[in-house]
Amino acid sequence: MGSETSWTPSPEENLPGITDQNRINELEAQGMATAELFILQLEFETEISTGLILEIHKTAFGKLYDWAGKWRTTEVIVGQFTPPAPHLVLQLMYQFVDTLNFKLSIAENRRDHLECLFYCHYEFIRIHPFNNGNGRTGRMLMNLVALKLGYQFLK
């Protein structure tokens, strides 16, 4: 893997050594479905934490990749955007989770709810805490926030 995240893992980079890209895509989709079910089964009161985010990511990608459920340790470039350096990821994720939980605790109306959803997705993607799967994990996290606010999964 180079220094960019605009890559799809090659077959030799997955744990089972699958070479058929369609099969890899299928297993990734199954992992995502499993992670979404995991989110749906969480207790409503479950607080969002860095550990929960790692668990969601590992549930989605853990059967295929050794980087699943682990914070990014390499510099990445996403298009023309350079996310924060890897040594800042853990601190930024703790700040993100604290701010998100605070915003959720004071959200009273639709505008507050939208702010929580926007903050959740935007800030997570800005931090870009994983080697890969950030967009998909960010959408799942945003859906968890939607559920906490009384909405259905967003599409």
pLDDT at position 4 is 47
Contact between 76 and 128 under an 8 Å Cβ cutoff? The reply is yes
Burial of residue 51 (CB within 10 Å: 0-12, 13-18, 19+) is exposed
Proportion of the chain above pLDDT 70, given as a percent: 92
Residues marked active site are found at 128
Give the confidence band of 5 by pLDDT, cuts at 50, 70, 90.
very low
Tens digits of per-residue pLDDT, 79-107?
Answer: 999 999 999 999 999 999 999 999 999 99
**Domains of the chain by start residue, with CATH:** 11-148 (1.10.3290.10)
At 152, list the tokens: 């259905």
Burial class (CB in 10 A: 0-12, 13-18, 19+), 31: buried
